[in-house]
Amino acid sequence: MIELNPMVIFIAAIFTNNMILSNFLGMCSFVAVSKEINTSLGLGQAVTFVLAATSIINYLVYHYILVPYNLEFLRFIIFIISIAAFVQLIEMIMEKYIPNLYYALGIFLPLITVNCAILGVSLFMIIREYSFLQSFAFAVGSGIGWTMAIVALAGIRQRLKRATVPKGLEGPGITLIVTGLMAMAFIGFSGIVQIQ
Amino acid sequence: MAKQSSQEIFTLGVWSDNPVFRQLIGICSALAVTNSLTNSMIMGIGLTFVTALSSFTISAIRQFTPKHIRMMVQVLIIAAYVIMVDIFLKAYLPEFSKTLGAYVGLIITNCIIMGRAEAFAQKNRPIASFLDGVANGIGYTVVLLFIAFFRELMGFGTLFGFQILGDWWTSWTIMIMPPSAFFLLAIVIWITHNIQDKKKSEVAKQ
């Protein structure tokens, strides 16, 4: 594996290897929560934060606990537990010390546990054999890319409310078509940087 | 919930309550692996296996699971089955294990499994839950195969890796790239919603 500059990975994770638009991760909440710009921005921030933190935890756990004991096959279970535990912990800390943010993000926090983007980033960084800094850059970049995509989609959907849409396409159908168009636009970024 | 016959469970899971185009859950992996029929097939079988067995297990122990930690228990059960699938693929189909990569692990966070565990397995007997898992898995697989059929045929000119279209066919590169997955899924949703709406309005007329 060629040593990649963490900065390159960071940019690539936002534009060319966007979590939603080229890896299809985090689609469930992407379609469900993207109705308003404010809420999707809140969710995006929460996802970015959890991604950054869990990538550190999972990296350390994987390389310093699982690998020395030859327990790599347990990684799915360990990762999902550490993500769930971390989300729970954050919820409790935030409720106590920063209640404003807690109530703003409230409902989204528990949802993040089952967001495939989080587990996906942890798995990708293991499969692609990233170093610690690379993993961190990848996680933060993915989070920002995810936020950008969901906020953009929310903006488009707010406009879309006034448009007439064929009956069967209403709701999820048209959302997917819009996402497809966004994905096409993002193909334009490919070639700037390359990872994988 | 009234007791459903196994036939009803199947029609619900495969058609009228299909997880992908009706409930729009579990589409992350549905989109990612559909650029080849073989991958979709493996993914579908893997998911059906995990959904069926985890529904069965969750339903079997539902009376002994404390309510407030049931999510954790469910995730652990699901993860255990996913590890089985992953190890099996690594041992017997190493090439596919490599191409599917992280997406096998992502079966854990596939909302279909959690959804069925919460919505069905919590309230029903193990055998019924097992059938429900199989039905939903098949519903998912069918949509995957449908999308993959068009993407592979138009993108590579092949089906299951065999050359179908001759040299005259110019491959549509867009079909193997991400956007086409979104468009095709949208079309599937459009068609099925139209058919189902029509049926509903016919029933309403009578």
Kind and range of the H or E run holding B133: helix B126-156
Domain count, chain A: 1
Pick the most confident of A14-18, B13-17, B164-168. Answer: A14-18
Please tell me which residue, A136 or B32, carries the higher pLDDT value: A136
Residues B73-104 have pLDDT tens digits of 888 899 999 999 989 998 998 888 888 877 88
Q: What is the pLDDT of residue A1?
A: 47
Q: Does residue A39 have a pLDDT over 90? A: no
Of the candidates B160, B188, B24, B50, the one whose C-alpha atom is nearest the C-alpha of residue A34 is B24
Would you say A17 and A130 are in contact if contact means Cβ atoms under 8 Å apart? no
Query: Which residues 114-173 in chain B show a CB within 8 A of chain A?
Result: 114
Question: A40-54, A75-89, B95-109, B132-146: which range is least confident on average?
Answer: B95-109
Q: Is A118 exposed, middle or buried (0-12, 13-18, 19+ CB in 10 A)?
A: buried
Q: How confident is the model at residue B174 (pLDDT cuts 50, 70, 90)?
A: confident
Query: Structural domain of residue A92, as residue ranges?
Result: 6-191
Q: Which 8-state DSSP code applies to residue A128?
A: T
Decide if A196 is inside a domain: no
| Contact across the interface for B190 and A31, Cβ inside 8 Å | no
Q: How confident is the model at residue B65 (pLDDT cuts 50, 70, 90)?
A: confident
Query: Which of B79, B106, B181 lies closest to A116 in CB terms?
Result: B106
Q: Does A156 touch chain B (CB under 8 A)?
A: no
| Contact across the interface for B189 and A120, Cβ inside 8 Å | no
Residues of B in contact with A24 (CB under 8 A): 27-29, 31-32, 178, 181
Of the candidates A24, A13, A28, A22, the one whose C-alpha atom is nearest the C-alpha of residue A113 is A28
The reply to whether the predicted model has a pTM over 0.90 is no
| Contact across the interface for A28 and B87, Cβ inside 8 Å | no
| Contact across the interface for B28 and A24, Cβ inside 8 Å | yes
Identify from A19, A21, A24, A195 which residue to disrupt to test chain B contact, counting B C-beta atoms within 10 A and taking the largest count. A24
Residues A20-29 have pLDDT tens digits of 888 888 777 7
Q: How confident is the model at residue A194 (pLDDT cuts 50, 70, 90)?
A: low
Q: Rounded CA gap, B101 and B91, in Å? A: 14
Count of alpha carbons within 13 Å of A172, Cβ hemisphere only?
Answer: 24
Whole-number mean pLDDT of chain A?
A: 83
| Contact across the interface for A176 and B87, Cβ inside 8 Å | no
Q: Does residue B123 have a pLDDT over 60? A: yes
Q: Where are the domains of chain B?
A: 6-205
Would you say A37 and A155 are in contact if contact means Cβ atoms under 8 Å apart? yes
Helix (H, G, I), strand (E, B) or coil at B159: strand
Decide if A187 is inside a domain: yes
Kindly list the distances between the CA atom of residue B110 and the CA atoms of A189, B1, B21, B48, in Å, as whole numbers in the listed order.
29, 25, 15, 12
Residues of B in contact with A76 (CB under 8 A): 79, 82-83, 86, 105, 108
Q: Does residue A33 have a pLDDT over 80? A: no
Residues A154-180 have pLDDT tens digits of 999 888 888 888 877 877 888 888 888
